Amino acid sequence: MSTSPIVRAFFDRPTGSLHYVFHDPATMKGAVVDPVWNFDPAAAAVWTESADEMLSYIRDEGISIEWILDTHPHADHFSAAVYMAGKLGGVPRAIGEKVTGVQRLWADIYDDPDLPQDGSQWDRLFAEGDTFMVGEVPVKVMFSPGHTLASITYVAGDAAFVHDTLMYPSSGTSRADFPGGSSADLWDSIRAILDLPAETRLFVGHDYPEKGRQPNYMATVAEHRLSNIHVKDGIDRDTFIQRRDARDATLRLPDRMLHALQVNIRGGRLPGSEEGGHGYFKIPVGRFERR
């Protein structure tokens, strides 16, 4: 049985988002994690450059994609899961089962009672401890709330896709102040991840490198426990929560958030078209405070 998948990282510099293709070298079967659908908030324009780059890699390497996996409904980019599934012959799309709580929360924020809030926008809703195979690589699902109330981690052999729980060790962790987030839950989720075997490769969801520098996106459990500035061994729970909450209080909302959540709670679909053939975003005025 293969336990070490080949992982290829892709980077969307405007949002600092990392998205991945991993595959089993023995069978050439693979999965896509958190694909990005490009969006320009100034023009409300969408295009598929990032997803098409992934599709080209999949085709050139001869990978047979079995799953498109969302880790959570993202606040900073649109999910290209629906687009990629269509290009790949309708492969199934999945997310964690707690997405229904995110849908209820944001349906209220957007005053959208007609939004289905049962997760039916995906083909599969994973629960804590669920397992499946990608080729000969075993994949286990860990429930990892904190950044959002629905976040999950995919542990694929010796690779774990930890989404926005952790950043690279020199950057620490991601914020926990979005609706439904919790720094206490984030700490618990991170400590569970850091209890994985020391050699486990952790692939993060974001980096924000200066122009000309490539992103940092992978470090092992051992490296995080040794040097992660927020959660390395020796930092306790109360200290982390205090520092995380203080830092989050200074952060502005992502400039795509109020657009992105409308798409991502729909599984990667734009708001429905109205008369004239265009869809429209609905932005709640005064719901969030200026920072």
pLDDT averaged over every residue in the chain? 95
pLDDT band of 94, cuts 50, 70, 90: very high
- The pLDDT, as a whole number, for residue 33 is 98
Q: For residue range 113-164, list pLDDT tens digits in order.
A: 999 999 999 999 999 999 999 999 999 999 999 999 999 999 999 999 999 9
Q: For residue range 10-34, list pLDDT tens digits in order.
A: 999 999 999 999 999 999 999 999 9
Plot region of 120 (φ>0 → left; ψ -120 to 50 → alpha; else → beta): alpha
- The pLDDT, as a whole number, for residue 273 is 74
Q: For residue range 45-86, list pLDDT tens digits in order.
A: 999 999 999 999 999 999 999 999 999 999 999 999 999 999
Report the distance separating Cα 241 and Cα 185, nearest Å.
9
pLDDT band of 107, cuts 50, 70, 90: very high
Beta strands 64-69 and 78-79, pairing class: unpaired
Percent of the chain with pLDDT over 70: 99
- Point out the least confidently predicted range of 188-197, 253-262, 276-285: 276-285
Q: Which CATH superfamily is domain 6-264 in?
A: Ribonuclease Z/Hydroxyacylglutathione hydrolase-like (3.60.15.10)
Residue 2 has pLDDT above 80, yes or no: no
Rg, the chain, Cα only: 18
> How far apart, in Å, are the Cα atoms of 59 and each of 35, 66, 88?
16, 14, 10
User: What is the average pLDDT across 217-242?
Assistant: 98
User: What is the average pLDDT across 196-209?
Assistant: 97
Plot region of 180 (φ>0 → left; ψ -120 to 50 → alpha; else → beta): left
With beta carbons less than 8 A apart as the criterion, state whether 18 and 203 touch: yes
CA angle, residues 97, 101, 106, in degrees to nearest 5 = 130
- The pLDDT, as a whole number, for residue 289 is 86
- Which backbone phi and psi does 86 adopt, to 5 degrees? -65, -40
> How far apart, in Å, are the Cα atoms of 195 and each of 11, 200, 220, 285, 289?
27, 10, 11, 42, 37
Residue 276 has pLDDT above 90, yes or no: no
pLDDT band of 1, cuts 50, 70, 90: low
With beta carbons less than 8 A apart as the criterion, state whether 282 and 262 touch: yes
